[in-house]
Amino acid sequence: MQPEAVDYAYSIIEEPVKQIEYLKYLTKVTEWWDDNDIDYVWRHIKKNCKTPADRIKTERKYKDYLRDHLRGVVPKTIGLAGKATGHTVFENFFFGGRKTGRDISRVKGIGRFHSYMQRKYIRPKGRPYLLAWYLHHLIDYCYEVYMMFPLTEIINRNRDRIKPSDPEYDEVVSFIQQHWEELKYDFESY
């Protein structure tokens, strides 16, 4: 595996808010938000997209929020309905209440969206990047739960969480299965 692919996968998973190109990609809603994506969009946004006009308004507010964040401007405290909410809907959507944004794809509720978007963003970079992304994700998850579940259950749970659609995921699963005892030994030495 290429070291730059491993480093990149690590940085986009562990500190996505520092990946300016990824954040810019997320602002280009009209380029990535299609009918397949709506299943991954967080409930607060999805419920505000009942009509095409609502969707356009929601996309515009989402893009404005991320642009403000990229410029370092404190986001406005106006929600999608135009009412003051104390925070923007997108702050929870994007950061999940975390200050650093670390491993945002694991945050309950919004993690599924971020996992999907990271894969969608990384896929054009090539196979080594996607392999590194899946490997990082699966090893992190294995480390969290290896004492609670057998490997088959861990893999099934991870598959349900991230809903992989790439053959690279199966390659990573095969690699982990082949090296499971070594990985467990490494986990225990942490």
- Encode 125-138 in three state secondary structure: HCHHHHHHHHHHHH
pLDDT tens for 118-177 read 888 899 999 999 999 999 988 988 998 999 999 999 999 888 877 788 899 999 999 999
Residue 53 within any structural domain of the chain? yes
Torsion of CA 66, 71, 75, 81, to 10 degrees: -40
Query: 83 and 21: one domain?
Result: yes
> Is the pLDDT higher at 32 or at 179?
179
Helix (H, G, I), strand (E, B) or coil at 25: helix
Q: Is residue 152 part of a domain?
A: yes
Task: Give the residue from 122, 148, 173 where a domain finishes.
Answer: 122
pLDDT digits (tens, 9 = 90+) for 1-21: 789 999 998 888 887 777 878
pLDDT at 104: 60
Q: Are residues 173 and 155 in the same domain?
A: yes
**Domain end (from 89, 122, 155):** 122
The residue range of the domain holding 88 is 15-122
Residues 107 and 179 in one domain: no
Same domain, 35 and 98: yes
Q: Give me the number of domains the chain comprises.
A: 2
